[in-house]
């Protein structure tokens, strides 16, 4: 399979690097990373210790069997635009936040699959990506149900040694992941605490309320996500990643734009009363606006 990875930063380089063990891979990213990969290959460190040799460039090739999108959610429009002229059999988003698949499907003439990913990745220097946690990719039809494209992609990911599950209930899984991110990301970014501080610290109630609100919005969207399941998912992830600084906290600490619009902002923008998500979204957006990041 020829796989093009659009947005080869941390996650895209890790997933693309692992796929390159079994497939032809083209990483599409930024300089100087792409030149370094082209010249000396991509080094996988952390949980892995190997060098792979994907192609790397700043613009997509004319065709590929599969595009894997790993830009930040606020760059999905640009990713869709870059992929629109590419002849593709399928596209898969592994991004966090809600709405990415809809944005991609509006521009692409191929099935767009939904995915969630619990692998951890960090681009430590150009040409080198560290795997900070071996996790799982779950993928499937974005509207749910069986999908031949999802089966093909699942088989290809398995062949490269990525832990992969093909699921027929992606809408529910996306909402549950959104509840985890709405609970953990904005709360830890605003309180400047590690994920584990939400288990019994004073910010824990905010995270649990944000997850309950997300479940309420999921139910308004027709999904069967109850409050207890959403809260339990937040607690399970906060415990499993207790020492982590969430991606939103890392973005704030590095002075970078966050994915708040696709997480807390998405929940708050649904037309259901969600005062906690509305407040956390407004506060993170205020921080971004004060730094001219939006
Ligand atoms: N890192 C992780 O461990 C995990 C991340 N995720 C999710 O995956 C997504 C990506 O995260 P992450 O890898 O950390 O982010 P990064 O910022 O490290 O990677 C995204 C990369 O895409 C590049 N990019 C954006 N637009 C384009 C374009 N049109 N053409 C080429 N390159 C482009 C960015 O460049 P530039 O910045 O210069 O625009 C950046 O290098 C997010 O939604 C995140 O929440 C999910 C699970 C784990
Ligand atoms: C699961 C969690 C909350 C882990 O930190 C994450 O996805 C993130 O930080 O974006």
CA–CA separation, 130 and 34 (whole Å): 16
Q: Cα separation of 233 and 76, whole Å?
A: 26
- Cross-strand pairs, 120: 133
- The pLDDT assigned to 269 comes to 97
What separation in angstroms does the CA of 178 have from each of 92, 96, 112?
17, 8, 19
Structure confidence by residue, pLDDT tens digits, 12-58? 999 999 999 999 999 999 999 999 999 999 999 999 999 999 999 99
Q: Which atom of ligand 1 approaches the CA of 79 most closely?
A: 29
b/e sequence 122-156, b meaning 16+ C-beta within 10 Å: bbeebbbbbbbeebebbbbbbebeebebbebbbeb
Is 199 within 8 Å of 239 (Cβ atoms)?
yes
Residue 246 Cβ contacting ligand 2 at under 6 Å: yes
Q: CATH number of the domain at 171-290, out of 1.10.1740.10, 3.30.160.340, 1.20.140.10, 1.10.1040.10?
A: 1.10.1040.10
Residue 116 CB–ligand 2 contact under 6 Å: no
- For 198-227, give the DSSP string: HHHSTTHHHHHHHHHHHHHHHHHTT----H
Q: 2-168: CATH homologous superfamily? A: NAD(P)-binding Rossmann-like Domain (3.40.50.720)
- Residue nearest (by alpha carbon) to ligand 2 atom 5: 246
Ordered per-residue pLDDT tens for the chain, 294 residues: 999 999 999 999 999 999 999 999 999 999 999 999 999 999 999 999 999 999 999 999 999 999 999 999 999 999 999 999 999 999 999 999 999 999 999 999 999 999 999 998 999 999 999 998 899 999 999 999 999 999 999 999 999 999 999 999 999 999 999 999 999 999 999 999 999 999 998 999 999 999 999 999 999 999 999 999 999 999 999 999 999 999 999 999 999 999 999 999 999 999 999 999 999 999 999 999 999 999
Which of 86, 67, 71, 79 lies closest to 103 in space, CA to CA?
79
Q: Could you report the predicted ipTM of this complex, rounded to two decimals?
A: 0.98
Spans of all domains in the chain: 2-168, 171-290
CB count within 10 Å of CB 278 equals 16
Any idea which residues carry the catalytic annotation? 177
């Amino acid at each position: 399979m020829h796989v093009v990875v659009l947005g080869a930063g941390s996650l895209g380089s890790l997933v693309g690097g692992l796929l390159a063990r079994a497939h032809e891979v083209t990483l599409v990213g930024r300089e100087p990373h792409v030149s370094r990969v082209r010249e000396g290959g991509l080094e996988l460190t952390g949980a892995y210790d190997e060098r792979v040799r994907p192609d790397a460039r700043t613009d997509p090739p004319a065709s590929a069997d599969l595009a894997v999108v790993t830009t930040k959610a606020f760059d999905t429009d640009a990713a869709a635009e870059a992929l629109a002229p590419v002849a593709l059999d399928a596209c898969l988003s592994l991004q966090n936040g809600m709405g990415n698949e809809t944005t991609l499907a509006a521009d692409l003439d191929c099935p767009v699959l939904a995915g969630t990913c619990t692998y951890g990745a960090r681009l430590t220097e150009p040409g080198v990506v560290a795997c900070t946690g071996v996790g799982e990719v779950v993928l499937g039809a974005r509207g749910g149900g069986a999908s031949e494209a999802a089966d093909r992609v699942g088989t290809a990911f398995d062949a490269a040694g990525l832990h992969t599950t093909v699921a027929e209930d992606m809408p529910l899984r996306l909402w549950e992941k959104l509840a985890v991110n709405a609970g953990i990301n904005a709360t830890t970014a605003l309180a400047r605490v590690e994920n584990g501080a939400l288990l019994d610290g004073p910010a824990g109630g905010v995270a649990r309320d944000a997850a309950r609100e997300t479940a309420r919005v999921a139910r308004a969207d027709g999904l069967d996500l109850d409050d207890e399941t959403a809260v339990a998912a937040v607690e399970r992830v906060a415990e499993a990643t207790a020492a982590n600084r969430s991606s939103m906290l890392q973005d704030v600490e590095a002075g970078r734009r966050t994915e708040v619009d696709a997480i807390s902002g998405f929940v708050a923008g649904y037309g259901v009363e969600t005062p906690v998500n509305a407040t956390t979204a407004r506060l993170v957006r205020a921080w971004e606006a004060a730094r001219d990041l939006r």
